Amino acid sequence: MKIEWLGHASFMITAEDGMRIITDPFGDYPGLSYNPIEEAADIMVVTHKHGDHYGARVRGNPRQVSKPGTERVGAIEFKGMATYHDTSKGRDRGENTLFCFTVDGVRICHMGDLGHKLTESEVAELGQVDVLMIPVGGHFTIDAATASAICEQIKPLIVLPMHYRNDKCSFPITGVDEFIKGKPDVKRLDSSEVELKKGQLPEATEIVVLKHTL
């Protein structure tokens, strides 16, 4: 399986059989200067419908997965957990759905724009997570400290930080360095892609910082 970070909260996950899943495909949005998404996908996972997560017209007529609950698309089961975009139960920024799904034996969790800590029961509901895609920039989402605490709760094998300030995102949020500082097992790849196989994942949590494709 290959995971490519397009930018912001958008990843392209390509299974060994060629099936492609895109997450939170951003559109034209103030503060984002990523190039337009032109990739095709079979499935589109949308955690919430703000324009920086749901604005691109993704080619390939993908099946959209965007609601809490369980939904099966082909051989893949998507489990959506209802959460909030803020610490006030959605009053400020609305709802957000976390999605967990398994590709080629690797369980992935995309947290969208999670805005609050997780309870122990929510962590238990998520279950085992191999790859965690988590926002770390703060202000609109959880900040670096809360993201770190959630990683400690979930104990994923791979952490892919997202939704942080960079050369293509001028939001009033922090960069990835605030999240990774002082942490062991951080890999900054000179690439926007990482290849993962079920039997070759690390034994303890490893943070992988990717370059954005777009």
Domain ranges of the chain: 2-209
CA distances for 132 relative to 42, 92, 172, angstroms: 21, 25, 23
Chain segment 44-87, per-residue pLDDT in tens: 999 998 878 888 889 999 999 999 999 999 999 999 999 988 78
Tens digits of per-residue pLDDT, 158-179? Answer: 999 999 999 999 999 999 999 9
Regarding predicted confidence, which is higher, 94 or 69? 69
pLDDT value at residue 87: 80
Matching CATH number, 2-209, of 3.60.15.10, 1.10.10.60, 3.30.160.340, 3.40.470.10:
3.60.15.10
Instruction: Please report the pLDDT score of residue 88 as a whole number.
Output: 73
Dump pLDDT digits (tens) for 174-192: 999 999 999 999 999 999 9
Can you tell me the distance from the alpha carbon of 145 to that of 130, in angstroms, rounded to the nearest whole number?
21
> At which residue do the structure tokens 């997570």 appear?
129
In the prediction, which pLDDT does 22 show? 99
Q: What's the confidence (pLDDT) of residue 52? A: 86
Would strands 106-110 and 69-73 be described as parallel, antiparallel, or unpaired? unpaired
Spell out a b/e string for 52-66, using b for 16 or more CB atoms within 10 Å of the CB, else e: bbbbbebeeebeebb
Confidence check: pLDDT of 90 > 90: no
Q: What is the largest CA-CA distance in the chain?
A: 43
> Which residue stretches of the chain are H helix?
120-126, 144-154, 177-180
Interacting residues of 151 by C-beta distance below 8 A, sequence separation 6+ = 132, 134, 159, 205
- For strands 20-23 and 43-45, give the pairing: parallel
Predicted confidence at residue 171, as pLDDT, reads 97
